[in-house]
Chain A
Amino acid sequence: MKIDLTDTTSARINAGLIDARRASGTPAVGMVLTLVIVTDEGSAYDALKSAHEASTEHPSRILAVIKRPGRSPRERAGARLDAEVVVGDEAGTGETVVLRMHGELANHAESVVLPLLLPDAPVVCWWPDQAPRKAGTDPLGSLAQRRITDASSAEDPVGSLVMRAEGYTPGDTDLAWTRLTPWRSMLAAALDQKHSTITAAAVEGEAYNASTELLALWLADRLGIEVERKVSDGPGITGVRLVTTDGDICLDRSDGRLAELSVPGQPDRHVALKRRETAELIAEELRRLDPDDIYRATVQFGVDHLVTANGSAKGGKDPDSGPTAAAGATASAAKKAAPGGKAATPK
């Protein structure tokens, strides 16, 4: 069921939600969280689709905030709230409200969102593309326990990781990090087995790929070794190599689908390691709503390192252009011309 409300208020939207639920015969709902999606008209469709898919695992109230400040001074001076309330089939298992905020109201989105949050349930805020510099202090972001950004969708993915590290507030997370979970679990499982000391590592992936940088940072942080960042044609991350005294532990994925794991003294094996859809990533994010300390350590590892190892890694580059750790610096600055720069080094 769909109710269109033009030039409306939060109170009328709340009443509309109750009406819609009554009419569809489901007055009680077991929604577990409110998901606020901050986006624009262009990305709204895809983002809502992913959120609806994820809502089969996490029934939620989805609030899509679409800001339309307007192009002319007259439009900018006015303020209007239009809303689309969707309950039932089209809205996945929960309910969806698309909020279009015109004119001056676009600067006060939190005033609309606050009364529409589910009582007592966690709030998650997701920016599918452009995220504020510091998500935790953003008026919408500060309503949420969990803030999801996506460095990969930014103009400068690696640079935006630096921004994430600097503006980190507990509860922040990034889809570039979520995309890594299968890689990280496979590597962790490989090291569950007996292995000799790891002396060096290399991570290979597309240029301008925030996930690849994060994986390099994670390995450098956890293993306390130098990690080399290599550039390949992708898709995404294409391989990880851990150098041990007995030989290399390799996880290679050339087609974005099926990887090959080779471990010294063991046969080579295939591992399914498919690149995941946004809906799956969001579902994973919504599973845990507490701060992700490992993400913090990883993303800040680069920045910390940058401070201590200063000049050598940073070179003479614009600090904003991406030197998340040395890894970012070499990869983004050297572009494809010079693959294989030294990446993150331990403190």
Chain B
Amino acid sequence: MTTTTETTPAGGPAATDASPVRTAPRSAARRRRLYQWLFVAPAVLYLLAFFGFPLVRNILMSFQEFTPTTYFTGEAPFNGLDNWRAVFSNELFGDALWQTVLFTIGSLAGQFTIGLALAVFFTRRFPLSGVVRAVLLLPWLVPMVVSAVVWRRIMDEDHGVLNSFLKTLGLTGDGVPWLSSPSVALLSAVLVNIWIGIPFNMVILYGGLQEIPREVYEAAALDGAGPWRTFRSITLPMLRPVVTVVLVLGFMSTIKVLDLILALTGGGPADSTQTLGTMTYQLSFMQLDFGQGAVVGNVLILVSAVFAVLYLRVNRAQSGQGK
């Protein structure tokens, strides 16, 4: 975000010193530049208000004391590092951080592996391939809360269809406590999130696979390479830029998942599915301690910022390669 705040003023002066040499048409050129900026300015102001401002405001809020009466009195005095100390000494914070990591890595690994397998499968030519690929997008297009609600019913310990199915197969005697046991609930949330993310991974990886020229495969076949060898030494290396994009985008959207967990488990049982996202929500909007909520939110941003830097690096390296 710092970059946006940096570039806007950098764009501003551009209008004034656009042509320092030619002085005569200077005001006309300046007017034209100003006019052109009118196209861009509303969107930039909006982005600053809805992304830039919250980022700055959250940092400030993390040093302020908010109580349930703050919104009546309007008073939120600065309290130094009190919020930070309170959050870091909160046992839940460490758990939430660790569960966020598990949730994110588990989801990404599952979504990516299955998405890639499906993408490779769909490169075969067969009837109905296009239609099936299109319909497979549905889980990704349905609102996440809605999917979570449906899964909540499916994974119900006593009445859920998942357990009755497993019982019929004889895989479980009394049913798995998918959402009611602290040791299983996080895994269940990961499974549901994998289900949601597969289509997105599949579509992008499939697009990447289509870009690989057919001749490369023909050459490999002539050299006698088997399917696994071809996949490892041709498909994966040539797909690498797309793989990075998918993983980084997946990371940035998974680490902030909130809807899914709130509707599936509500962070429970026994806080076993609390993540940094749900903890921010509970601190700010349930306990009305916006200061501590801001602390957790800032940690969340810090983690994703590291990966955003990685993403942009890769993006730049990629466009460099393309040219």
Q: Do A and B make up one complex?
A: no
